[in-house]
Structures are given as C-alpha cells and as structure tokens.
Amino acid sequence: MYAQVRTLKLNLEQRYQITLSVTSPLYPWVVRHAQWLMNRYLQTSDGFTPYEKPWGKKCFGSLCNFGETVQFRKLGMPKAEPSFTFGIWLGRCAESDVHFVADALGVFKTRSVRRLVPSKQMSQSLLLSVQATRWDPTGSKRVETDHFILPADPALPSQGAPSTTEAESTLTQDQTTPTKDQRTQETLETT
C-alpha cells in the first residue's frame, strides 16, 4: 500500500511540478485511490484480485490519471448553462463506481467524465484550488487543530444523573415505603 501511495504521489508531483505534503487536502484522496486500485487490480497468490473473489468477475471501467484535469457533468445545473465543467479527477467510488471529481467548490460524484487532449490534462491552478477532503467534501472547514474531544467514559457517572447505586436505593425505598394512596387505601380497608 505504501508503495502505491508513494507512486501516485510522485507521479502527481512530477506532472505538476509541485510538492505534495501529507497535510495537503489531496493527500487523503491519494491514499483512498491507492486502496481502490489495489482492491481492483492487485492479484493475490491465488491469481485473483480482492474484487474478483466476491463478485466472480474482473473490474472493468475507465480510469484517468490521479489529479488529471477532466470535464465532468454537474447535477442541478440550469438548462441554459453548460452542464459540463472542469475539475480534477480524484478516483472512483468503491460502492457505486462513480467518479470523484473536485473543483474549488468541493468534491462531486458523477457518472459522466470527459477526458481532455493530453496538452490540456493539467491545470495547476485548478489542482491547487481543491480544498476538499474526504471528511469535508465542500472544503469549508479548513481549520486545523491539535485538539480533539474524547467520548465520555461510560464507566463514569455523568453529572446531573443519579448513579446506579442512588437509583437502586430509590427503587428499594419505593418498594418498601407505602405511598400516600396506599396508606389511604389501607385506612379505608381497616374501617
């Protein structure tokens, strides 16, 4: 896996004459695409790919180079506007096999991708405008922080809620102490 990630990263850096750091929004897409490629095309010792074993067939479909500038169809475009726009190809989806394509506005899933002539397959300005990550598809939450919140420990009682021993003692007390209605009923029965 590391070799595939390194190969994709070096290929992208060589084609665009850039340096791709691990903090780049594109890096998680490189890792995801490397995993997708290995699951679809790497043959194991039994001669099958991980995709062939459960499905019983080879993976077929068109691919582009990672980071290639393509035209893709955006859904929801007005009819008077062109339905195809330029974007950066980031890979294929494992579940639905659609293409992931990004531009400055975010990452989009699309079934329709058009490759460009080789002289127009690289747009460095478009590549550098991509800010979306896999966990932030619009690229709007680019605040980096080293703080994270751990989930509450279920072993510790939360504040404001009674602990299990308090709840058990209340339940025991309710079962042994008669309520006002029970005392009234007992009084009526004795008279």
**Residues 90-110: tens digit of each pLDDT:** 999 988 889 999 999 999 999
Is residue 8, in this structure, part of any structural domain at all?
yes
Residue-by-residue DSSP string for 146-173: S---PPPPTTSPPTTSPPHHHHHHHHHH
107-135 as b/e, with b when 16 or more CB fall inside 10 Å?
bbebeebeeeeeeebbbeebbeebbbbee
Tell me the mean pLDDT in the region 56-68: 88
Is residue 70, in this structure, part of any structural domain at all?
yes
Distance CA 155, CA 145 (A): 28
Is residue 145, in this structure, part of any structural domain at all?
no
Distance CA 166, CA 144 (A): 43
Is residue 149, in this structure, part of any structural domain at all?
no
Nearest in space to 131 (alpha carbons), one of 25, 55, 21: 25
Q: Tokens representing 101?
A: 């394509």
> ∠ CA 64-17-141 to the nearest 5 degrees?
75
The mean pLDDT value of the chain amounts to 81
pLDDT over 70 at 176, yes or no: no
The count of structural domains within the chain is 1
> Left (φ > 0), alpha (ψ -120 to 50) or beta: where does 77 sit?
beta
Tell me the per-residue pLDDT of 10-53, one tens digit each, with 9 for 90 and over.
Answer: 999 999 999 999 999 999 999 999 999 998 888 888 888 888 87
Is residue 159, in this structure, part of any structural domain at all?
no
Is residue 173, in this structure, part of any structural domain at all?
no
Tell me the mean pLDDT in the region 145-172: 50
Is residue 18, in this structure, part of any structural domain at all?
yes
pTM: 0.70
Strand residues in 12-156 grouped as ranges (E) = 69-73, 84-92, 99-103, 106-110, 113-115
> ∠ CA 159-162-168 to the nearest 5 degrees?
160
| pLDDT grade for 153, boundaries at 50, 70 and 90 | low
Distance CA 87, CA 106 (A): 10
Specify the pLDDT at position 33: 95
Is residue 178, in this structure, part of any structural domain at all?
no
| pLDDT grade for 189, boundaries at 50, 70 and 90 | low
Specify the pLDDT at position 126: 96
Specify the pLDDT at position 148: 46
Domain span at residue 29? 2-129
